[in-house]
Amino acid sequence: MLALMKRYKPQSQLSIKEFEMPFEADLDPNNRWVILSQVIPWDLFAKEYYKNFKSNRGAPTKDARLVLGVVIIKHYLKLDDEGLIEIIQENPYMQYFLGLTAFTSKPVMDPSLLVYIRKRIDLKVFETLTDELIRQGLKIQDKKSLEPENEEEQDDDDNEQSGNKGKLQLDATVADAEIKYPTDLDMLNGSREKAEDLIDHLCAELKIKKKPRTYRKKARKDYLNVSKKKRKGEKELRKALKLQLQYVRRDIQHINKLLDLNQSQGNKPVFDKHQQKYFFVIQHVLEQQAKMYKDKSNSVEDRIVSIHQPHVRPIVRGKAKSKVEFGAKINISLQEGYTRIDHFDWNAFNEGVDLIMQVERYRELHGDYPETVLVDKIYLNRENRRWLKEKGIRHTGDPLGRKPKVNMPTAYAKRKKRRECAERNQVEGKFGQGKRGYDLNDIRARLSRTSESWIAAIIFVMNLIRHVKGISLSIFDLIYNKVMRMKQIIINQFTVQVLNCA
């Protein structure tokens, strides 16, 4: 039983016909939100969601089904937080989907609560729900329910494996954060403006009438004189950078002096956690920009590209559209249309080192290794090739070394390899679905935790759509098979009658 402060209605909700409306209307039981409500593991989410509440004290929480349902609707329809609450007020099907028992014109929650919801629903929660969807869709039995009682039985089960099954497709992409394209001059100008805001706040708190001289008007003019030009010469740009570096360095010195004055007077800290974070970030930006200016380079370790989102890093991808992307890099695995996030990181990483881990995760879920792994060249280093060979797993890469002059592959082997390489394009299609259909390339969350939840929610919604389509196809297959059986019975009966008449 959940604690009294935790609200949740069990998954066995009332039927759509029992949903109360303020006016006479028949709700369609085949509506997409009604169908979607029947496949989501609500109870499992409630169990995982309430693990984040370590105390039973405080006001009652929002219903767990309401929380997950709001997140799903948001990313399914690509709505902003305020528009999301408004559209739920107008739609009875969405309110039924959220677990309400009757239509209401009142907002289900304040839009600001969605920020705190994203902080509580992390990547692990969505991955747990995704695993349950895969078990339901592919009819996989949970390994925990089939665990042997002792180690001897477990060894016997490992020896009696029927072989590798299925195909696993791997690839990585970047979920772009919504930030302004960063340049060195813009970064320094933004840091200077934020430092000036902090100086104004300190002077107001310390009741200082005469503010320190910051030359903010001159600094703004120097920045605009260069930034407005379409073509900037190298000497002109370096001169502008040097001026902005001096302005930022002077402002930081003023802030430190004002903080020392506040401490000497025995006052309480005047910066809240957000202002303290900004002060730390602009000092780090100054240090990085000064180092790059001195070394005449364009790269530095852990480079900050946004003072508002300092966790975002530049990731070099070498794509035709843009060589550098700014956001979180995710390494995913695709199995029969279902997507799992195996590695999430804000820093660039080599996805090839994750192959063994991704294959082992496949085995943990399915009970067997995949028969084939569809990957590109970056995954097929010597260590991974050796490991795949030991496990009896085929891959789509070319063998190392020169092409042999004898024992050339047959035409059938060539066609099979081309077909498998073409199947790997499904991963690229999944990325396109996420970025074009669900704004995976426009992550508008500001914090690293909320951005992670935002990305995981989009992937989970895509898995839900795949799951519902799979159920629809299964129902169609059942109906088709039933019709064909009836047709065969009629043909057989007609044939018997004809033979009897003859």
pLDDT score, position 274: 94
Tell the residue number behind the tokens 């040097």, with chain if given.
242
How many CB atoms lie under 10 A from the CB of residue 45?
24
Could you read off the pLDDT of 2-58 as tens digits, one per residue?
Answer: 455 677 777 666 777 777 777 667 788 888 899 899 889 999 999 988 887 776 777
Q: Return the structure tokens found at 248.
A: 């930022």
The span from the CA of 25 to the CA of 31, in Å, is: 14
| Regions in the chain scoring below 50 on pLDDT | 1-2, 145-146, 153-161, 473-480
Domain ranges of the chain: 16-121, 163-178+327-466, 184-295
Helix axes 184-206, 273-295, angle to 10 degrees: 140
Asked if 194 and 397 touch (Cβ cutoff 8 Å), the reply is no
Asked if 373 and 359 touch (Cβ cutoff 8 Å), the reply is yes
The span from the CA of 9 to the CA of 424, in Å, is: 42
Using CA atoms in the order 78, 82, 83, 88, what is the torsion angle rounded to 10 degrees?
100
The span from the CA of 451 to the CA of 430, in Å, is: 20
pLDDT score, position 407: 66
How many CB atoms lie under 10 A from the CB of residue 416?
13
pLDDT score, position 494: 60
CATH fold for domain 163-178+327-466: Nucleotidyltransferase; domain 5 (3.30.420)
The span from the CA of 128 to the CA of 167, in Å, is: 21
280 half-sphere exposure, CB direction, 13 A CA radius: 10
CA distances from 157 to 210, 216, 244, 360, 394 (A): 80, 73, 68, 17, 23
b/e for 301-328, b at 16 or more Cβ within 10 A? eebbbbbebbbbbbbeeeeeeeeebbbb
pTM: 0.85
